[in-house]
A and B are shown apart, each in its own frame.
Chain A
Amino acid sequence: MGDVKRRRIDELAARAGQVPEGEGGVSLTRSAFRRLRRDPVAIIGAVIVVTFLVVALFAPWLAPRDPLAQTLLSQIRPGLIPGSQEGFPLGVDNLGRDLLSRLIYGSRQSLMIGVVSTVLGVAAGMALGIIAGAFGGWVDTVVMRFVDILLSIPGLLMAISISVLLGQNQYALMIAIAVTQVPIFARLLRGSMLVQRGSDYALAARALGIRKRRIVFGHVLPNSLSPVIVQATLSLATAIIEAAALSFLGLGDPDLARPEWGAMLANAQAFLSVRPELAVYPALCIIVVALGFTLLGESLREALDPKFRR
């Protein structure tokens, strides 16, 4: 299926090997980094991402209150959830918990879900891609057919199936999201390795009598990684958004002790007409973080791939 989808991923992979003209002397990584530092888009993306990472790391020190403590309960009645007031800058949620503190603590769980699921997806996808790309032949055919089958299920439906299978817990959530990313990374890496394997330098290395394994792991693989890095950065954004969607579908983390933006957003839908801020703030957090990862990913792509520059 999805010949077009496959082609699109392979196209991205093919672009990987291109070295910008006139920068032959400098290593690709270093010249890419130099371009990144001069790119305002990259800087905005990095600032967003770093800010949220810092908030997540230092949540216990930054949060004004305990995110689980139910206060102001007396003020809550149907159709009224107290808003901003002394000591509660953003008000409380429907159970009287401080919204700001929950948002701050929520960054931990949301970023964790994003990072873990992406790392899992990248690792599994890369393993498949390497197996296919390194061995070629029938191994390649079998692995890629399997990947095609995975690609033929729309992402969210796949995540739903996995979630239902594994039950409702945060690990199931992460694995479900990871699985949707596996085929993308497998195809990407394999395509990119094929391009590199066919390149002149790999041929030259073979002609010099260098062992195949050394060529693959010493040269081909490192040179094939840049599209994977770019896609992984973009996937962090998708993963966080997808986690929210799964929470909305009732497949999120049931453990109330761990505030998470997706779950907060899904939960707040019921109170949208009473206090829309309950939904707006976690949604804003998700949007901004996703935006940060997207900006970073896009500028990474531009830095690593001269043809994409705009």
Chain B
Amino acid sequence: MLRFIVRRLLQLIPILLGLSVLLFAWLRALPGGPAQAALGERATPEAIARYNELFGLDEPLIVQYLRFLGRAIRLDFGTSARTGRAVTTEFLERMPGTIELTLFAMIFAIGVGIPLGYLAARRHGSWLDSTSVIGSLLGVAIPVFFLAYLLRLGFAVELGWLPGSGRQDVRMDATRITNFYVLDGLLTREWDAAWDAVLHLILPAIALGTIPLAIIVRITRASVLDVVNEDYVRTANAKGLATSTVRRRHIIKNALLPVSTTIGLQTGLLLSGAVLTESVFAFGGVGSALYDALFARDFAILQGFILMLAIVYVLVNLLVDISYGLLDPRVRVR
């Protein structure tokens, strides 16, 4: 198992290198080049020239790339033209919010999706089955940001049941330790702060989790339908095992294999969706920062955030691969 993990880690190196080349090239290809990217759109030609000289942008590309790579390894992506703060600091400060949001979204998607998909399969052909099939088709067809707006309009603006923006009530004056607001609240025993953060997470998490939910329902359903017809389930029944044992050990365990693959694939969608959802709910995570940076054409933020998000995505996929290896002994040996 350890060798499996090490091998996967080694495979990451060329991918990360390739990513850095792409993003380096991207910044070079931008109209105005990196100097303008760093100084902002209103930079004077003199300032640009000074910047170019200062950062050696007149040197050969390969030297420049190596320098960029050196800084990237130290997670130094320069400073934001808009706020003047280091990109990495900005990212690390905001990432906990996005992690909280994606976690809640995933908990929602998995917690509802797997049981629903399982029930739909076991009651194949029932109204529950058809409803979940139709629902899962609709779920992937709705633009995320529109759903987010609808939820906000309905439950926050009209009904006023849940907060519709931010990560926590500003009047909360909660103590910050990790920037995971829910976790901070629990650590400092400020229960009201934790609860308030949870309330703020509900609507964005539902909006963000809807696509994964739809996909998980569909895959679970199809997978359970496949597995119940497998020979080994018949064997389990022939052994006279209790229904609960057959269900847990022989049906669900195997049916979850393709589902776990899908869950890994969803992280990409979640990170993409977070940009849209967070900006609708002014959530203050990485996504809404990207949205703001996009409108401000804050290229340092864009470059650094995209690279770091890609790394997060790659790492999450690695985790999924490893957990897949734990679930399915056949993968481990390969």
- Select B19's contact among A3, A153, A245, A283, beta carbons within 8 Å: A153
Which residues of A come within 8 Å of B, CB atoms? Answer: 1-5, 7-8, 145-146, 148-149, 152-157, 160-161, 164-165, 167, 237, 241, 244-245, 248-251, 262, 265-266, 269, 272-273, 276, 279, 283, 286-288, 290-291, 294-295, 310
* New A-B contacts (5) at CB < 8 Å, excluding given A154-B309, A249-B275, A291-B137: A152-B19, A244-B145, A245-B143, A294-B141, A310-B225
Contact yes or no, B275 A156, CB < 8 A? yes
| B57 located at the interface, meaning its Cβ lies under 8 Å from any Cβ of chain A in the complex | no
- Counting CB contacts under 8 A, is B12 at the interface? yes
Contact A157 B306 (CB under 8 A): yes
Within 8 Å by CB of A164, from B144, B225, B302, B310, lies: B302
Given known A-B contacts A157-B275, A241-B143, A4 and B18 have beta carbons under 8 A apart: no
In the docked arrangement, what's the CA distance between A276 and B321, Å?
43
A-B residue pairs, 8 tightest by C-beta: A156-B272, A149-B18, A290-B141, A154-B268, A1-B314, A2-B317, A154-B271, A287-B141
B264 interface hit (Cβ, 8 Å)? yes
Closest to B271 in A: A154
With A1-B15, A154-B272, A245-B276 given, is the CB distance from A294 to B153 under 8 Å?
no
B183 adjacent to chain A (CB < 8 Å): no
Q: Is B326 an interface residue, CB under 8 A from the partner?
A: no
CB–CB A154/B18 < 8 A: no
Pick the contact of A245 from B15, B31, B144, B157 — CB < 8 Å? Answer: B144
Chain B residues near A (Cβ < 8 Å): 8, 11-12, 14-15, 18-19, 22-23, 26, 29-31, 137-138, 140-146, 149, 153, 157, 222, 225, 261-262, 264-265, 267-269, 271-273, 275-276, 290-291, 294-295, 297, 299, 302, 306, 309-310, 313-314, 317-318, 320-321, 324
Taking a contact as CB atoms under 8 Å apart, the answer to whether B141 and A286 are in contact is yes
Give the complex CA separation of A7 and B261 in angstroms: 9
SS of B interface (majority): helix
Expressed in whole angstroms, the minimum distance between the Cβ of A163 and any Cβ of chain B is 9
* Bound Cα distance A310, B272 (Å): 31
A-B contact count (CB 8 A): 149
Shortest C-beta distance, B226 to chain A (Å), equals 9
Beta-carbon contact of B294 and A152 below 8 Å: no
Of all chain B residues, the one with the shortest Cβ separation from A248 is B145
Q: Which A residue sits closest to B307, measured CB to CB?
A: A153
A4 B317 Cβ-Cβ under 8 A: yes
Complex CA distance for A256 and B273, rounded to whole angstroms: 26
Chain B residues within 8 Å of A7, by CB: 261
CB<8 Å pairs between A and B, sample of 29: A1-B12, A3-B317, A3-B321, A4-B261, A4-B265, A4-B324, A5-B261, A149-B22, A152-B314, A153-B19, A153-B306, A153-B310, A154-B309, A155-B272, A157-B272, A157-B309, A157-B310, A160-B294, A164-B297, A164-B299, A164-B302, A237-B140, A245-B276, A251-B294, A269-B146, A269-B149, A276-B153, A286-B143, A291-B138
- Chain B nearest CB from A164 CB (Å) reads 7
- Which chain B residues lie closer than 8 Å to A145 at the CB level? 14-15, 18
Name B218's closest neighbour in chain A (CB-CB).
A298
- Quick one: closest B residue to A162, CB to CB? B26
Complex CA–CA separation, A241 to B272 (angstroms): 13
**A244 with B143: CB separation less than 8 A:** yes
CB-defined contacts of B22 to chain A, threshold 8 Å: 149, 153
A157→B276 CA distance, assembly (Å):
11
A248 contact set on B, CB distance < 8 A: 143, 145, 276
Partner of A154, one of B11, B23, B143, B269: B269
Provide the bound-state CA to CA distance between A266 and B146, in Å.
8
Give the chain B neighbours of A245 by CB distance below 8 A: 143-145, 272, 276
